Structure 1
Amino acid sequence: MAAIVLYGWRLFLNLDTARPARYLGDATNLMSIWALLPIFAEMIEPKDSPLVRLHGRISRAVITRTVSNAAGISMVGAMVYMVVLPEYPAAVLTVAVTLGVAVVVSSHKTWTRMRKLCTRVHMNVQTLVRDLEELADSPDETKRAAVVRSWDEVHRDLLTRIDSGYWLLGRPFLPIDAVTVLEVKVATALDELPHNKNAGGDVLADFEALLAVCATRIDTVA
């Protein structure tokens, strides 16, 4: 990703004002980065120990999306540069500033989205943990229903994309397989609590790991 940033920076520093059409290849390269980088990053994302690797997964998702968005905006800049420069050379600075602001805004939105999602996951997992602990102390069916409702909230959060609101483009908070494993553990705890006091221990440990990762990214005013 550092190489991609350096590529765009060198492109900006070495503008060829005499031959704007030469940037067609650069625009194509930037378009490929914009379209394929998040897909490639998801393909090589480690699949083992998802909770242990969650901290890195979140960071990689937002960094990849930030670089991808910057490449896409730079692609637009290269295309506009080819079209605008021959006819309106004075507009180049205006376009460059506009695109620079677009990069900053898109990056800010991506990182804000991540912090909001982590805050939401932390809040809802805390509620689910408390509901499970209360169920362990009492067979009250209302407490069992509360666990089901809380899990529904957490389930939605864990499938929410970290870096994008578009389902096909973003990376889910946890891999779908990991969410399924958690769902089975919650169902097991629901079946066995409160008769088996140790039934929820496994899933509670997983939730504690989730809380620890999200705690470092809490932002209640994002």
Structure 2
Amino acid sequence: MLRLIRVSAPTNPNRRAAVGLVISIVGLLGFNVTFLGSSWGPLALFPAGAAFIYGSWLINPWYQASRDTTKLRITGLPLAVYAVWVGGLLLCAALTITTSGGASAILLVGLWAVHSVYATTFEPMEFALLRTRRRLGRGVHLRILTLWCGLAGVLRLVWALAFIDDGRYRVFLAGASLTLILGGVAASLKVQARFRKVCTGLHRNVQRLLRGLEELGEADTDTERRKAQQAARRTWDELEEYLLARADTGISPLGVCVLPEPAVVDLRTRVMASLDAAQADAEHKKVVDDLLILRDACSGRIDPAV
């Protein structure tokens, strides 16, 4: 069966990728059939999943042979889909907020709930270091946006129910609404403060590690070199804590990390190899370039007063 599948695949890479793209789209459309409510809808799950897997397999050789810039764009497609989904929900909520308060409230609260639980799954694992600046900004801004969407949904639902009861509790609801708004302001400021604190600590430790690498390269004796290595390793230990931290929330499973764990492990391996190397080489320069990317990701987001 597997041999038959391999033989039936087109040999031309571009044609193979085009066929794979079409089959993958058909597979994704097939998933939507399961939500139509028909009795045969669930039967589409298996063929739709098989079509998507087969299409992805056809595309993979073309993807692996592509340039890094092409791979960077392709792996960013889930973010584009997520942005379209968020924008579509916000548009639907805006169109129904005056006519159907309950529906718009459910959309807004649902947007907040889905983002809180699933937002990190849309962040690409590939080229994580290059995406650091935008990932951090995206995580914080979307956290605040969806927070206010959830608050707006709750307020819209409460006020919709209040008018059903002839408005006898409007005074109480006005006070409760003001309390929720002030709570939203406080939560937004807290998210921003955490974001600036993480960026400040990240920048500070990256700078210290860069200075440590410079001192290591300037060491003349074995004693000086060992001291410089030990100081650089201690700095890395502190830097690694910030790399694994969540920039937008203290709840680890829900927040957006500075770097995904596989990227942190890879960077740690290369930093330690650079510290143990007898002299600076191409890998040492690559480590320095990566640290500069991290430092530049914090540009304009530093606040030593927090």
TM over 0.5: yes
Provide the aligned C-alpha RMSD in A: 2.4
Amino acid at match of 2:127: S
Amino acid at match of 1:162: A
Moved more, 94-103 or 77-86: 77-86
In structure 2, do the counterparts of structure 1 residues 37 and 46 end up closer, same or farther at CA, with 3 Å as the change threshold? same
Structure 2 equivalent of residue 174 of structure 1:
259
2:194 to 102, 109, 113: 113
Contact 1:121 1:157 (C-alpha < 8 Å) held by counterparts: yes
Superposition TM-score, scaled by structure 1 size: 0.83
Measure how far apart 1:5 and its partner are. 4.9
Measure how far apart 1:180 and its partner are. 1.1
CA distance in 2: counterparts of 1:110 and 1:211, whole angstroms: 21
Structure 1 equivalent of residue 121 of structure 2:
43
CA distance in 2: counterparts of 1:9 and 1:116, whole angstroms: 34
Q: Which has the larger radius of gyration?
A: 2
Counting only pairs closer than 5 Å after superposition, residues 188-203 of structure 1 correspond to structure 2 as 188-192=273-277, 195-198=278-281, 199-203=283-287
CA distance in 1: counterparts of 2:286 and 2:89, whole angstroms: 42
1:165-218 per-residue CA deviation (whole Å, 9 max, x = no partner) reads 1111111011111111110111111221xx222252211110011111112211
Amino acid at match of 1:116: K
Counting only pairs closer than 5 Å after superposition, residues 26-37 of structure 1 correspond to structure 2 as 26-37=104-115
Contact 2:94 2:104 (C-alpha < 8 Å) held by counterparts: no
Structure 2 equivalent of residue 101 of structure 1:
182
1:105-151 per-residue CA deviation (whole Å, 9 max, x = no partner) reads 22222122111111110001101111122122224322211111100
1:151 to 220, 232, 236: 236
Structure 2 equivalent of residue 63 of structure 1:
141
Structure 2 equivalent of residue 19 of structure 1:
none
Structure 1 equivalent of residue 13 of structure 2:
none
Partner SS, residue 214 of structure 2: helix
In structure 2, do the counterparts of structure 1 residues 96 and 9 end up closer, same or farther at CA, with 3 Å as the change threshold? farther
Moved more, 69-78 or 112-121: 69-78
Partner SS, residue 298 of structure 2: helix
Aligned residues: 213
Partner SS, residue 180 of structure 2: helix
Partner SS, residue 173 of structure 1: coil
CA distance in 2: counterparts of 1:110 and 1:83, whole angstroms: 31
Amino acid at match of 1:121: L
Q: Does 1:142 align with 2:227?
A: yes
Contact 2:112 2:146 (C-alpha < 8 Å) held by counterparts: yes
Structure 2 equivalent of residue 125 of structure 1:
206
1:17-47 per-residue CA deviation (whole Å, 9 max, x = no partner) reads xxxxx62x44443332222114443222233
CA distance in 2: counterparts of 1:5 and 1:29, whole angstroms: 8
CA distance in 2: counterparts of 1:99 and 1:6, whole angstroms: 23
CA distance in 1: counterparts of 2:96 and 2:218, whole angstroms: 64
Structure 2 equivalent of residue 204 of structure 1:
288
Superposition TM-score, scaled by structure 2 size: 0.62
CA distance in 1: counterparts of 2:284 and 2:296, whole angstroms: 18
1:146-171 per-residue CA deviation (whole Å, 9 max, x = no partner) reads 11110001100000001001111111
Contact 2:151 2:180 (C-alpha < 8 Å) held by counterparts: yes
CA distance in 1: counterparts of 2:301 and 2:291, whole angstroms: 16
Partner SS, residue 259 of structure 2: coil
Contact 2:89 2:107 (C-alpha < 8 Å) held by counterparts: no
Structure 2 equivalent of residue 165 of structure 1:
250
Amino acid at match of 2:301: R
